Chains A and B, each alone.
Chain A
Amino acid sequence: MAEGPNTPGGPDQTAIMLGLETSCDETAAAVVRRDRTVLAARVASQLAAHAPFGGVVPEIAARAHVEALDHAVQAVMAEAGLGFADLAGVAATTGPGLIGGLMVGAVTGKALAAAHARPFVAVNHLEGHVLTPRLTADVAFPYLVLLVSGGHTQLVLAEGVGRYRRLGTTIDDAAGEAFDKVAKLLGLGWPGGPALERFAEGGDPARFALPRPLTGQPGCHFSFSGLKTAVLHALRREADADEATRRDLAAGFQAAAAEALAARTRRAVALARDRAPGLERLAVVGGVAANRAVRAELEAVAAAAGLGFHAPPLALCGDNAVMIAWAALERGGAGDPLDAPVRARWPLDPAAEPAVGAGVKA
């Protein structure tokens, strides 16, 4: 068991945290105990509300969060059999993400905390993802994390609670965003990641020569925009592409994306070892970690490098509130002021140089 920060006797294993997550299109609440027990968790997806628009509409997301969040809180508290007075604190994602939803989560968390004189903990969404392997597998610092989702693609060396070194990030699209866009090109609807994976089954990944962006280039940044465009051009060349052709393209794209993620991760392992010679583990988190091709490539990277591999269960890979409660518990119960800021942009590693074109994904 890792020791908590600033607590000589180790963290209080009975401390219970309520977590809230509203940074994108999932309204989530969870109750987690410091001994790694998830007492209750709910995720209300807004997929149906956004599907007609082919993507997440920020104002629609914010409107849905305010209608759903208190229901989710009530449900998890009831399921855990707890009152607010039983909590060690209330944690909410306060960035990075879509500002309208972040505001709903922050205000709700602050109100619940204030009304019961509990600490309010402002949690960075990325930190929630990065610390999840410590909840699910008690992974010790330091470890390397590939965070790969619809909003983010980052390689982070986790050296301790609050100490993260961003080794790489995407300079354009997030990997999950590329999956969604390619799925749309192939007529698979939105969101397209899981649909694309199913569609690619049986496809020939070698039929189309697609680029592996940035492979062999210095550094650990990612790029997926060119790969997406290559799929578009290939599709145009194949006028009236039949289903087999489109399946081959899906398989080719998936293989290229997985290999690109693996190639950059391989580089990051070397960089991470320079800083942290005791590195023992590679973890992959985020919604794209559910993709089996991606997972297989990364497992191979870990095995070749002599690293242990960990991917949290699916429910804790995508956006969720368990990771927010857990990150707050890891911080040892220190609260933030009631007027803590809400931040659309909030880099996990403030020392990392901004990547050109990365936007909020940096």
Chain B
Amino acid sequence: MRLLALDSSGDLRSVALDDDGVILVERAEAGARGHAERLIALVDAARAEGGWTWSTIDRLVVAVGPGSFTGVRVAVAAARALALALDRPVHAVTTLDALVAAASDAEPPVVPVIDARRGGLYVARPDAGEGGSTPVATTPAAATDGLPARFTAVGSGAPALIAAAGRGEARERAVTASGALAAARTAIAAGTGPMAGPAVRPLYVRAADAVPRAA
């Protein structure tokens, strides 16, 4: 199965091609301001580099957030448009899962954490009873609740979390398309199927900054 993954949730935009579990091509560029300009050109270049035609792609993978509102929207718009154009389904993964999946080199337990700006962090809050988790926006102090004695914080928010906790190891790194691919592979192995393009939605976590006016 051939997967094309993309991410532009942070300062980096990246694309990766996966052929039956082997990453053929990975391309990345820095500069959050250029996502809407460059992402599709980057996808096209990676596709060509891998020697794929568009119809080679069996499924798409996209990191849906949390991250920059604009960045996750660009990636989701790209994935939904490609899904429509190619008639292919999509695996939507969270940026936090993509960070964990890409951190096989880190000493476990791995704690994914993304800088949410305005002094906040995006972290994965464990779901009650289940093994899963839900991304939330919180303060660094609140994010230290329940952290183990030793852990490796991975992501753009790692330094802030380590500073607030007063312990742990920080791996400050960006979300990548290859991380999203690895998270999708984990999901597929666990029996999670892909979804239709229009079902893929940005995971903003935070509401839009707007206050309803009194009538």
With an 8 A cutoff between CB atoms, is B49 at the interface? no
Instruction: Write out the residue numbers on chain A whose beta carbons fall within 8 Å of the beta carbon of B211.
Output: 53
Given A59-B210, A70-B80, A100-B70: A341 and B37 within 8 A (CB)?
A: yes
With an 8 A cutoff between CB atoms, is B24 at the interface? no
Contact among B37, B54, B198 for A70, CB-based, below 8 A: B198
Min CB gap B200→A, angstroms: 9
Contact among B35, B41, B197 for A337, CB-based, below 8 A: B41
Chain B interface extent, by class: 35 or more
- CA of A304 to CA of B73 in the docked complex: distance in angstroms? 51
> Which of A101-109, A252-260, A352-360 is the contact stretch?
A101-109
Interface string of B159-198 (1 = CB under 8 A from A): 0000000000000000000000000000000000000011
- CA of A69 to CA of B85 in the docked complex: distance in angstroms? 13
Within B64-113, which residues are at the interface with A (CB < 8 Å)? 69-70, 73-74, 76-78, 80-86
Chain B residues within 8 Å of A, Cβ to Cβ: 34-41, 43-44, 54, 69-70, 73-74, 76-78, 80-86, 197-198, 201-202, 204, 208-213
Q: Is the CB of A52 within 8 A of B213?
A: yes
Q: Is the CB of A115 within 8 A of B202?
A: no
Q: Which 3 residue pairs across A and B have the least CB separation, nearest first? A: A111-B81, A115-B85, A103-B36
Q: Is the CB of A59 within 8 A of B208?
A: yes
Instruction: Write out the residue numbers on chain A whose beta carbons fall within 8 Å of the beta carbon of B208.
Output: 57, 59-60, 63
Q: Is the CB of B210 within 8 A of A107?
A: no
Given A107-B40, A114-B44: A63 and B204 within 8 A (CB)?
A: yes
Q: Is the CB of A59 within 8 A of B37?
A: no
With an 8 A cutoff between CB atoms, is A54 at the interface? yes
What are 13 A-B contacts defined by CB distance under 8 Å? A53-B213, A59-B69, A66-B80, A103-B35, A103-B77, A107-B81, A108-B81, A110-B41, A111-B85, A114-B44, A114-B54, A115-B85, A342-B37
With an 8 A cutoff between CB atoms, is A67 at the interface? yes
Instruction: Write out the residue numbers on chain A whose beta carbons fall within 8 Å of the beta carbon of B197.
Output: 70
Chain A residues within 8 Å of B, Cβ to Cβ: 52-54, 57, 59-60, 62-63, 66-67, 69-71, 73-74, 84, 100, 102-104, 106-112, 114-116, 337-342
- CA of A338 to CA of B198 in the docked complex: distance in angstroms? 23
- CA of A53 to CA of B208 in the docked complex: distance in angstroms? 12
- Across the interface, name the chain A residue whose C-beta is closest to B88: A115
Instruction: Write out the residue numbers on chain A whose beta carbons fall within 8 Å of the beta carbon of B73.
Output: 62-63, 66, 100, 103-104
- CA of A122 to CA of B66 in the docked complex: distance in angstroms? 29
Instruction: Write out the residue numbers on chain B whose beta carbons fall within 8 Å of the beta carbon of A70.
Output: 80-81, 83-84, 197-198
- CA of A59 to CA of B37 in the docked complex: distance in angstroms? 19
Q: Is the CB of B37 within 8 A of A340?
A: yes
Q: Is the CB of B40 within 8 A of A67?
A: no
Contact among B70, B82, B198 for A111, CB-based, below 8 A: B82
- Across the interface, name the chain A residue whose C-beta is closest to B53: A117
- Across the interface, name the chain A residue whose C-beta is closest to B84: A70
Contact among A60, A115, A337, A338 for B82, CB-based, below 8 A: A115
Instruction: Write out the residue numbers on chain A whose beta carbons fall within 8 Å of the beta carbon of B40.
Output: 107, 110-111, 114, 338-339
- Across the interface, name the chain A residue whose C-beta is closest to B37: A339
Contact among A52, A53, A342 for B36, CB-based, below 8 A: A342
Interface of B is mostly: helix
Instruction: Write out the residue numbers on chain A whose beta carbons fall within 8 Å of the beta carbon of B80.
Output: 66, 69-70, 108
- CA of A126 to CA of B210 in the docked complex: distance in angstroms? 28
Min CB gap B101→A, angstroms: 25
- Given A112-B85, A115-B82, output 17 extra A-B contacts at Cβ < 8 Å: A53-B210, A60-B210, A63-B208, A66-B77, A70-B80, A70-B81, A70-B198, A73-B84, A100-B69, A100-B73, A103-B70, A108-B77, A109-B81, A111-B77, A111-B82, A115-B85, A115-B86
Q: Is the CB of A104 within 8 A of B77?
A: yes
Instruction: Name the residue in A71, A107, A110, A338 with the highest tally of chain B Cβ atoms < 10 Å from its Cβ.
Output: A107
Instruction: Write out the residue numbers on chain B whose beta carbons fall within 8 Å of the beta carbon of A69.
Output: 77, 80-81
- CA of A158 to CA of B83 in the docked complex: distance in angstroms? 39
- CA of A53 to CA of B44 in the docked complex: distance in angstroms? 40
Q: Is the CB of B78 within 8 A of A107?
A: yes
Contact among A62, A109, A339 for B38, CB-based, below 8 A: A339
- CA of A84 to CA of B69 in the docked complex: distance in angstroms? 29
- CA of A104 to CA of B198 in the docked complex: distance in angstroms? 14
- CA of A342 to CA of B38 in the docked complex: distance in angstroms? 10
Contact among A62, A71, A111 for B78, CB-based, below 8 A: A111
Q: Is the CB of A54 within 8 A of B213?
A: yes
- CA of A41 to CA of B156 in the docked complex: distance in angstroms? 43
- CA of A174 to CA of B27 in the docked complex: distance in angstroms? 44
Given A52-B213, A111-B82: A66 and B76 within 8 A (CB)?
A: yes
Min CB gap B105→A, angstroms: 32
Given A59-B209, A63-B208, A107-B36: A112 and B77 within 8 A (CB)?
A: no
Q: Is the CB of A67 within 8 A of B201?
A: yes
Min CB gap A46→B, angstroms: 12
Instruction: Write out the residue numbers on chain B whose beta carbons fall within 8 Å of the beta carbon of A54.
Output: 213
Instruction: Write out the residue numbers on chain B whose beta carbons fall within 8 Å of the beta carbon of A57.
Output: 208, 210
Q: Is the CB of A116 within 8 A of B204?
A: no
